[in-house]
Amino acid sequence: MEESEIDIKELIVIGGSSGSLMVFFDILNNIPDRFPLAVLLIIHRGNFLESMLLNLLALKSRLPVKEVEEKEKIKPSHVYLAPADYHVLIEKDKTFSLDYSEKLNFSRPSIDISFISAASVYGKKLTGILLSGANNDGAEGLKEIKGRGGHTIIQDPEDAVVNYMPKQAILKSRIDQVLTTEKIKQYLISLSHPGAE
Amino acid sequence: MFIQEEELQLFLNDLIDQYGYDFTEYSEASLRRRVDLFMVRDNVPDLTTLRSLVFTNPDYFRHLVEEVTVNVTEMLRDPLFYKAIREEVIPVLATYPFIRIWHAGCSTGEEVYSMAILLKEAGILHKSRLYATDINPGVIEKARSGIFPASQMRKYSENYIQSGGENDFSAYYTANYNLAKFDERLSEKMTFATHNLVVDSSFNEFQLIVCRNTLIYFNKNLQSRVLELFDQSLELLGFLALGSKESLQFSSIEFKFRQTITEQKIWRKVK
């Protein structure tokens, strides 16, 4: 990966569905506490997980983890979680907006909606990462991120518990990097030392 | 996304001039997405075409408004919210000789019927009036009809039980093929009207205003103006109920209100 690309990233968006939760935990656990970017997580989950999910993520993370709040300013070195049953959009002034419109790909929050919205605001300063899942969500979003000059990564289908979602992404657009969980962690660590890799 | 932000702003300004509808203070990210979706669905190739359709045909403009505003709703959405209404709000409302409630941004009316059921079960529907408004005339018509998809009834029945309902939910409607028509004794006390929160003023004083998941589609400025409108439209000690991710925090009216229970977005006007 070229250094120029590392230098300019501002936001990482990560989407995952079935089989992705352990990967999220693993990734958060390895993001260093001086990580300079903002991270937005879009996680499909059943209702039963809702009350615990934020706490579990916060336990794993060295960065502060919080649920996205309506019209909240996006700050570096923070991890944001899309709330259950709302889509998360990003305004051009880099604040979040919540949206209760129809489900997309049977999902709310939808990964595509957040990826597409983030791409239109952050352009090449964005990295999109799509993890394990049994759903179509995220493929269109990665295509849009790529189209706007951002960097796209999927979890290696060989490494994913459910490989359907990352495979759909490959069919939809050219993906910059296909990485195992270990390599995704390394990529993120490399972002906290711009130019050091 | 094929509409550019600047194009959209110009289009919105022209809508004000021609139709008096002002969407310029809507949340831009959401609105742009809705307009994009609308154009895809309606097979409108570009903004020039959209402009000519909208500006030559008021019916098409109405169609645009109906599709671009979000109208996702359900009965007894967030059952624990309705449980709090039953337990914390209705006992207070019951002490009034006459109860006025405003559902602002009522969409297709599911939440208005939910409220009417709660009032009926508390024995106070007869002395209540529910004013239900929305910017979108199409959804107001649906709301007035009291007819909802029968396929949703199982879910609503579950919501009803979780909200503390003790009756048979199906007693409130008559199902016919795939439609469920709600009891007219519920809708007798409802008044439906179009009302635009952006430009229209207060039209009464209420003891309860319910506006859930409408403010999220507005920008900060418009959100605070609408909250001020609600403040002006509430009696002292009246209640304001918002959506689960909406808040009075950091708003100009926050100091006048106190949250009744921390887990639910229900505030009481204390000043």
Distance CA B17, CA B21 (A): 8
Domains of chain B from N-terminus onward: 5-68 (no CATH), 79-269 (3.40.50.150)
Residues B96-111 pLDDT 10s: 999 999 999 999 999 9
Q: Which residue of B has its CA nearest to A117?
A: B29
Nearest C-alpha neighbor of A146 from the set A171, A121, A173: A173
Neighbours of B105 (CB within 10 A): 26
Q: B5 vs A92: CB contact, 8 Å cut-off? A: yes
Instruction: Please state, in angstroms and as integers, the Cα–Cα distance from residue B191 to each residue in B26, B54, B81, B112, following that order.
Output: 26, 30, 23, 10
Q: Which segments in chain A show pLDDT lower than 70?
A: 1-7, 47-48, 194-197
Q: Which amino acids of A are annotated catalytic?
A: 17, 44, 137
Q: Which of A90, A98, A101 sits opposite B245 (nearest CB)?
A: A98
Residues B6-31 pLDDT 10s: 899 999 999 999 999 999 999 999 99
Q: Which segments in chain B show pLDDT lower than 70?
A: 1
Residues B52-81 pLDDT 10s: 999 999 999 999 999 999 999 999 999 999
Q: Which of residues 174-193 of A touch B (CB under 8 A)?
A: none
Task: Provide the shortest C-alpha distance from residue A92 to chain B (in Å).
Answer: 8
Domains of chain A from N-terminus onward: 3-191 (3.40.50.180)
Residues A95-130 pLDDT 10s: 999 999 999 999 999 999 999 999 999 999 999 999
What pLDDT does residue A196 have?
46
Contacts of A120 in chain B (CB under 8 A): 1, 29
Contacts of B227 in chain A (CB under 8 A): none
Q: Which of B29, B72, B213 sits opposite A117 (nearest CB)?
A: B29
Q: Which of residues 161-180 of B touch A (CB under 8 A)?
A: none
Distance CA A10, CA A39 (A): 9
What pLDDT does residue A17 have?
96
Q: A89 vs B213: CB contact, 8 Å cut-off? A: no
Task: Provide the shortest C-alpha distance from residue B255 to chain A (in Å).
Answer: 20
Q: A117 vs B33: CB contact, 8 Å cut-off? A: yes
Sign of the alpha-carbon torsion through B34, B219, A108, A126: positive
Q: A89 vs B30: CB contact, 8 Å cut-off? A: yes
Mean pLDDT of chain A: 92
A99 reaches B (C-beta below 8 A): yes
What pLDDT does residue B1 have?
57
Interface test with B, best of A93, A96, A101 (most B CBs within 10 A): A101
What pLDDT does residue A193 have?
73
Contacts of A121 in chain B (CB under 8 A): 29
Contacts of B5 in chain A (CB under 8 A): 92
Neighbours of B177 (CB within 10 A): 6
What pLDDT does residue A48 have?
63
Q: Which residues, 6 or more positions from B234, have their beta carbon under 8 angstroms from its beta carbon?
A: B205, B206, B207, B209, B240, B269
The pTM score is 0.92
A123 reaches B (C-beta below 8 A): no
Contacts of A91 in chain B (CB under 8 A): 27-29, 219
Q: Tokens 């990966």 identify what position?
A: A1
